[in-house]
Amino acid sequence: MEPLLKINNETCNACYACVRACPVKAIRVQTEKVKPEIIPDRCIGCGSCAAACGPGAIEIRNTRDDLIPLLKQEKKVAALVDPSIAGEFPDITDYRKFVQMLRTLGFDRVHEVAFGVDLVARAYKDLFKKSRGKYYIMSNDPVTVSFIEKYKTGLVPNLAPILPPVAAAAKVIRSITGNDVILVYISPLIASKDEILRFEGDSQIDLAITFVELRELFTGANIHETDLEFSDFNAPLGYKGSFFPIANGIIQAAGINEELHETPVVTIEGEGMIDAIKEFEDNIGAIKSHFNLFYKEFLMGRGTSMGGKRILRRSQLIKYVNKRLKILDLDAWKKSMDDFSDLDLSRKFKADDQSLPKPPENKLNKILKELDQLEATDVGCGACGYASCTDFATAIAQGLAIPEMCNTFSSKNRQDHIQSLTISNEKLGQAQEALRKSESMAQKEKEAAREASEIVRRMLHKLPSMVVICDQQLKIIQTNDSFIEMLGEDAKEINEVVPGLAGADLKTLLPYSFYNLFTYVLAHNESITNRDISHEGKILNVSVFVIEKNKTVGAVIRDMSAPEVQKEEVVKRLTEVIDKNLSLVQQIGFIMGEGASETERMLNSIIESYKLKKELKDK
């Protein structure tokens, strides 16, 4: 089922007013989401968040639209009207007109919950008389009951085991009409929408709508009291139970003595309800009283129109009740009370502990330090929505809050951020100036490169030799007119459309033996120089060289039949032959010189030997 309350992120402006208003901190703020979210399991349905939300971002589950199809069914539909209706509709001059408006809307029966209050009041009076040293918390307010079940589970046994008035009224109606009836509770509380889900059997209530939603239904159906006659509530009618919307109204309905020195009941309403429960928990042995608690008087419940005046509504209610009591048949009321004296009004409660474990002290101290709090403290500004800085730090540790919710922390971070931005802006200014200079220098270098490129391009086209540069796919990057002239008329026509044959495939322009030289150089990164190739009856001298490894190669090609090349080449090659011959003569001379020297040495050796033998013979 859709949660009772949820936050519309598109409308929410993350002001955290809802966090500050929530009495049980059922609203979580997380860093990654920034905007708050309501935790349904922790929510007690008080609606304080919706009242505090300026942008109106908190949405209450709509049950108004669920009523329309119910009114169209064949089953009888009965309205259970809370007595606080008199304070909500002061614009309706007579309550009997109001009853007729409900019948015109489509209800078959219209019952006042006041009779259920009378029954419950009697049950409380009996309970208090029979209690022996045990003290109870009255369980008529669904917000109070939800708070105890979720946050004060140790007090669940102290909740009075008596049905709330609307459930008692449901039992009465079903006993009269049978179970084949649809019951709709018209309530001043949004919490009633969840409360009725707990009632089963003959106390079952099928739907609860608020007074605000009822107003919208009247407007939508164009129903006005001026067009209608009188009609009264279906019996049984209530008596002093009509005072129930006022906090101590049920005490008066029960006839319990309210003299301060004699009353067994303490009545508290408003946000002091939570403090009262804590006192009950801590000091009930000394207080020795039953507690009648309301988070809000039903007269000012969150299901009523916003901006209502409490005293005005109270006076309207009292006027309504006085008018009713003047015409009430007390004997008929007493008989009805006797008829339902044996009605089972008991109920049970179930603990649903939503309290969170306290964080370790070291973790808490670390968070406090981050918040610029040197130690735990029980005071605080309250802007974050928590009573003290320690409570706030605890909520951060429990994942319910973020440090940015603290004004002091945010202010300090803001100043740090501003200082950081100032420094960043200064650095950015310096970087921008450096970038401007760099861009200026780059622009100059780009212009110089463009001029150099243009000079090279012009020089390239002035060269008599054929030049071509291509990429690893043998696509032409640049060439000159001499190369295009060599390729023939087709290449010239292409050149007129695509200057320089840029992008043309070299493999389609040259034979395999020719372009294979380029492929070899690209693959081996090894230049080829002075390779003679026959091409279309001409001898071409080709040199292919590496410009960028595996990416770009260039070639210089000379037509050996050109006169200037022939002269140059003849001179060059004659020079090479002469150089080789001179080298060979030098080598022959060296060898011959070596040989003559050796011959001379051998002859000298023979002469010396001969002279030595002759001298020996003479002796």
For residue 585, what pLDDT is reported?
Answer: 47
In this predicted structure, the answer to whether residue 405 has a pLDDT above a threshold of 80 is: no
What's the number of CA atoms in the CB half-sphere (13 Å) around residue 334? Answer: 3
Structure-block tokens of residue 543: 């040199």
Paired with 552 in beta bridges are 471, 548
pLDDT in tens, 17-71: 898 899 999 999 887 777 899 999 999 999 999 999 999 999 999 999 999 999 9
Mean pLDDT, the chain, whole residue set = 85
pLDDT in tens, 428-475: 878 888 888 888 888 888 887 777 767 766 777 777 788 889 998 999
Burial (CB < 10 A; 0-12, 13-18, 19+), residue 601, is exposed
For residue 450, what pLDDT is reported?
Answer: 77
In degrees rounded to 5, what are phi and psi of residue 384? Answer: -75, -15
361-370 and 389-397 are packed helices; what angle lies between their axes, rounded to 10 degrees? 110
Kindly state the percentage of the chain with pLDDT values over 70: 86
For residue 107, what pLDDT is reported?
Answer: 96
Q: Which of 72, 26, 313, 355 is nearest to 191 (CA)?
A: 26
What is the bridge-based pairing of β-strands 181-187 and 538-548? unpaired
Q: Which of 170, 184, 210 is nearest to 108 (CA)?
A: 184
In this predicted structure, the answer to whether residue 301 has a pLDDT above a threshold of 70 is: yes
For residue 613, what pLDDT is reported?
Answer: 55
In this predicted structure, the answer to whether residue 4 has a pLDDT above a threshold of 80 is: yes
The model's confidence at residue 427, banded by pLDDT at 50, 70 and 90, is: confident
pLDDT in tens, 353-390: 999 888 888 888 888 877 766 555 555 565 666 777 88
* Range from 100-104, 329-333, 465-469 carrying the lowest mean pLDDT: 465-469
For residue 31, what pLDDT is reported?
Answer: 73
For residue 20, what pLDDT is reported?
Answer: 87
Q: Which of 60, 87, 145, 581 is nearest to 347 (CA)?
A: 145
For residue 16, what pLDDT is reported?
Answer: 86
Q: Which of 231, 289, 233, 251 is nearest to 104 (CA)?
A: 231
Query: Domains in the chain, ordered, with CATH?
Result: 1-61 (3.30.70.20), 62-339 (no CATH), 361-405 (no CATH), 463-561 (3.30.450.20)
One-letter amino acid for residue 542 of the chain? V
Mean pLDDT on 171-190? 95
In this predicted structure, the answer to whether residue 569 has a pLDDT above a threshold of 60 is: no
Structure-block tokens of residue 127: 């309970």
The model's confidence at residue 237, banded by pLDDT at 50, 70 and 90, is: very high
For residue 203, what pLDDT is reported?
Answer: 95
For residue 589, what pLDDT is reported?
Answer: 47
Question: What is the rounded distance in angstroms from the CA atom of residue 360 to the CA atom of residue 397?
Answer: 9
pLDDT in tens, 196-220: 999 999 999 999 999 999 999 999 9
For residue 173, what pLDDT is reported?
Answer: 96
